Structure 1
Amino acid sequence: MTEDNSQELYDRALSVMPGGVNSAVRAAIEPYPFFVRKGEGGHVIDADGNRYIDWVMGLGPLLLGHDLPEPVQASIQQKASEGPMYGTPTPVEVDLAEFVVRHVPSVEKIRFVNSGTEATVSAVRLARGYTGRNKVVVMQGGYHGAQESTLVEGDAENPRPSSAGIPQSFAEHTLPVPFNDEDAIREVFDEHGDDIAAVLTEPILGNYGIVYPEDGYHEFLREITDEHGSLLIFDEVITGFRVGGLGCAQSEFGVTPDLTTFGKIIGGGFPVGAIGGRAEIVEHFTPSGDVFQAGTFSGHPVTMAAGLETLQFAAANDVYDHVNGLGERLRSGLTDILADQAPSYTVTGTDSMFKVIFTREGPSGVQRTPEDASGDDREQGPDSLEEQCEAGCRQNATCPRYDYCPKNAADVKNAETERWRRIFWGRMKDQDVFLSQNQFECQFVSYGHTEEDVEKTLEAYKEAL
């Protein structure tokens, strides 16, 4: 396998782009990323002609895979041929808005923007404007885009910016708490309840290894925000139209937030974001309200056409049955492989999302040592894995893994993240399988993937582990 062209391209990119990339995660691959020339179905082909099974899927937007079905492609091409954009409303943005309102429980009205980051920025501003309060509760390790209100680390007592360029005074309005920790939520509401505008959370942590909520956690968030007059915001940029089908993750969990942010799939692979929710709240956006929000490219006709046709195709065909079925097969197969080869590791994910977290402890509570990580002793730990979650961690209290499977971002961070990135990822790439660039990012199944892709990937995991 040659990578001469990718190496040359990266050398050129370093001269004209910071770190040689336009998004930081792309540089996580060492010593340099491979450059993709094209996609086909569930595969990508790089600049040197190497072909990989692609489980990254653009980090989530490509529900249908790289080969778009004819009606989706035709609609995109038609809109592009009619002119790039106009600075006026277009019929297709109304069509997409009506589709989302019909299918997503929380959405009565929606505002389209251009990225997931822009959606969460606008949602936080809207929550503050609507409630007249300043503080926002977020989950540690949750990702809500590159915005000042959520690039915050630490805890509720000592929040601090997680990036240079953000004033400490901004971070003081953000209250980070561990995911799945009801006591921590109660404490921040006891201390700051009168000034909490919203709780902002992903229904499933998707940028920190995939962490599933414990039973009743979202119901608790719904109750405590109602009790204190705060808003509940679900960030469904990743889970939207992937978990729970057209109803999104909120329909899967049976909890309706006040606001929902979208991105990725809702734009069919083109730049997009959206904020939807109760009409009385969303109406506070200008021009009908007093919370400023605007964007030259918002509701771009090509993006709106791509999103609408993608969702309509998914509704009319077996897309969710296909991707969820392959996801189930992947997670079940990985569960069997880990039970035999690496029982301390954890399979996570649901529907068409999956990941293996290199957790360090087995059900017996045996802590792995560095020597274990490279030797046969990896099979120590579990006394029994009977009755474990069969196809991805569900935080099931009867599962023998329950006491040590990841409950929050800190648990994932304490996993063998460097081993995953520096050793395992490369072993998978050598077998022509492209996984997300680090331990934390999701992996996704698309309509373009096949059972053969799944079987080849499972064999690669056996070899790489």
Structure 2
Amino acid sequence: MNHDESRALYDRALSVMPGGVNSSVRATQPYPFFIERGDGAHVVDADGNRYLDYVLGYGPLLYGHDMPEPVRAAVQSHASEGPMYGAPTEVEVKHAEFVSRHVPSVEMIRFVNSGTEATVSAVRLARAYTGRDKIVIMQGGYHGAQESTLVEGEPGDVHPSTRGIPESFAEHTIPVPFNDFEAVRDVFETHGDDIAAVLTEPILGNKGIVMPVDGYLEHLRNLTEDHDALLVFDEVITGFRVGGLQCAQGKFGITPDVTTFGKIIGGGFPVGAIGGKSEIIEQFTPSGNVFQSGTFSGHPVTIAAGYEYLKYAAENDVYDHVNRLGEKLRRGITDIVEDQAPNYTVVGTDSMFKTVFTREGPADLDGCCPAGCKQRESCPRYDYCPKNGADVAKADTERWKRIFWQEMKEQGVFLTVNQFESQFVSYAHTDEDIEETLEAYKEAL
């Protein structure tokens, strides 16, 4: 493939943007390819190269790059009538009503501008509602670029994970390993009266896609209820992708007190949201005393896109299609891995997928999960499958970034740049696209 134009654009970008990009995950070696346009399940770069796209904007593009006609019409209509007003609009009410009808935890919702803003606001809300300061998070979980959760370490020895955050922020955050029953129970036994909330993704989605083991989410629900703390699900990635319109909480049958959203809920436009029980969400100003506000919150173009996005999914076979293709892709990759790289672990559910370059595996793969790790204790691979972020970090992450990702790109398949980020199937993908992708996997592995 020729990348002369992308190389030239990157050279220009380095002079005016740090690292030549506006989000660190877009940086690739030796330089990123620059996208010119999207086309269904594909993107086309500045040099005219065409790629099957499984990044999908890191999750928001449930329909790929061609919006369904009702979505396109709504976006064009609201944009032409004026971009925003600094006053409420009817479509905000419609979207809030739609979400509250379908998501088990949501009685009220506050729309904001990003997933990060949603989780920042959720942490503030939990602390105000409970009158406590400490937040329990999962090691390897990701809740946006916010000071309260950009931490690392073990309980009792926690530090900011990036420069620029005072140590004092980390004092109120307790990271525990995902899927570790004993670790989180011990934390509550020690700090239970000071814990405002457990903040977790129901599925780790920024660390290779790690499913909860049987009973773990129930364990968190019980612990928080026993100690009068809140359970906050970060469904920025899983929301309206896993579990359909009920989200991951519906799939697992666990109802949190508060849920944060982003990505799909805005139909591909910048968005975030915080939903939950009315008595909690009403603590936000102006009905309560927890300050939360934003110039662009509830932006009519974004909200119209999100509303029509989800309405279209409710009225069509969107989830049947993407979940079927997701399973077909994971099954195909599992077969390839069994033959060519039996140590590797295929992960994912619904329309999410990834291959983790784990370094160990069982001698006999008979009886293993056929379409992505489900954390089944009866599975021969159970003791080898990643159970938390640390397990994924032990994988051959450099091989993914420096060799595998490059090989797939050269075959016209666009995957997420590192070992950790989720990948997605869209409504625009076809069975033929899946077959083409599997052939690329065979070649690259």
TM over 0.5: yes
Partner in structure 2 of residue 372 of structure 1: none
Q: Distance in 1 between matches of 2:69 and 2:47?
A: 28
Q: C-alpha deviations, 1:23-68, integer Å up to 9, x for none? A: 01101x1000000000011100000000000000000000011011
Task: Confirm whether residue 437 of structure 1 aligns to residue 417 of structure 2.
Answer: yes
Q: Distance in 2 between matches of 1:109 and 1:59?
A: 26
Q: Matched residue of 2:157: which SS?
A: coil
What's the offset of the Cα at 1:190? 1.1
**Structure 2 residue identity aligned to 1:6:** S
Q: Distance in 2 between matches of 1:362 and 1:26?
A: 31
Partner in structure 1 of residue 171 of structure 2: 172
Q: C-alpha deviations, 1:88-123, integer Å up to 9, x for none? A: 000000000000000000000000000000000000
Q: 2:394 aligns with which of 397, 411, 414?
A: 414
Task: Confirm whether residue 395 of structure 1 aligns to residue 375 of structure 2.
Answer: yes
Partner in structure 1 of residue 365 of structure 2: 385
Partner in structure 2 of residue 36 of structure 1: 35
Q: Distance in 1 between matches of 2:36 and 2:314?
A: 30
Q: Distance in 1 between matches of 2:169 and 2:225?
A: 25
Q: Distance in 2 between matches of 1:275 and 1:457?
A: 36
Partner in structure 1 of residue 20 of structure 2: 20
Q: Matched residue of 2:238: which SS?
A: coil
Q: Distance in 2 between matches of 1:124 and 1:156?
A: 19
Partner in structure 2 of residue 378 of structure 1: none
Which runs of structure 2 are paired with 1:53-202 in the superposition (5 Å)? 53-202=52-201
**Structure 2 residue identity aligned to 1:233:** V
Which runs of structure 2 are paired with 1:177-326 in the superposition (5 Å)? 177-326=176-325
Q: Distance in 1 between matches of 2:175 and 2:293?
A: 28
**Structure 1 residue identity aligned to 2:402:** R
Partner in structure 2 of residue 355 of structure 1: 354
Q: Distance in 2 between matches of 1:171 and 1:448?
A: 43
What's the offset of the Cα at 1:362? 1.2
Q: Distance in 1 between matches of 2:155 and 2:264?
A: 33
Q: C-alpha deviations, 1:227-253, integer Å up to 9, x for none? A: 000000000000000000000000000
Q: Distance in 2 between matches of 1:226 and 1:241?
A: 26
What's the offset of the Cα at 1:257? 0.1
**Structure 2 residue identity aligned to 1:386:** D
Q: Distance in 2 between matches of 1:20 and 1:460?
A: 29
Partner in structure 1 of residue 5 of structure 2: 5
Q: Distance in 2 between matches of 1:221 and 1:189?
A: 10
What's the offset of the Cα at 1:426? 0.6
Q: Distance in 1 between matches of 2:361 and 2:116?
A: 37
Q: C-alpha deviations, 1:144-183, integer Å up to 9, x for none? A: 0000000001111111000111000110100000000011
Q: C-alpha deviations, 1:383-406, integer Å up to 9, x for none? A: x21111110000001111001100
Q: Matched residue of 1:446: which SS?
A: coil
Q: Distance in 2 between matches of 1:448 and 1:159?
A: 43
Q: Distance in 2 between matches of 1:271 and 1:155?
A: 34
Q: Matched residue of 2:193: which SS?
A: helix
Q: Distance in 1 between matches of 2:422 and 2:327?
A: 15
Q: Distance in 2 between matches of 1:186 and 1:348?
A: 27
Q: Distance in 2 between matches of 1:220 and 1:70?
A: 43
Q: Matched residue of 1:39: which SS?
A: strand
Task: Confirm whether residue 338 of structure 1 aligns to residue 318 of structure 2.
Answer: no
Partner in structure 2 of residue 449 of structure 1: 429
Q: Matched residue of 2:199: which SS?
A: strand
**Structure 1 residue identity aligned to 2:158:** P
Q: Distance in 1 between matches of 2:29 and 2:385?
A: 29
Q: Distance in 1 between matches of 2:146 and 2:230?
A: 19
Q: Distance in 2 between matches of 1:194 and 1:165?
A: 30
**Structure 2 residue identity aligned to 1:7:** R
Paired residues, number: 445
Partner in structure 2 of residue 371 of structure 1: none
Q: Matched residue of 1:159: which SS?
A: strand
**Structure 2 residue identity aligned to 1:30:** Q
The unaligned stretches of length 5 or more in structure 2 are none
Q: Distance in 1 between matches of 2:54 and 2:414?
A: 6
What's the offset of the Cα at 1:69? 1.1
- Runs of at least 4 residues off by over 2 Å: none
Q: C-alpha deviations, 1:280-314, integer Å up to 9, x for none? A: 00000000111000000000000000000000011
What's the offset of the Cα at 1:187? 1.1
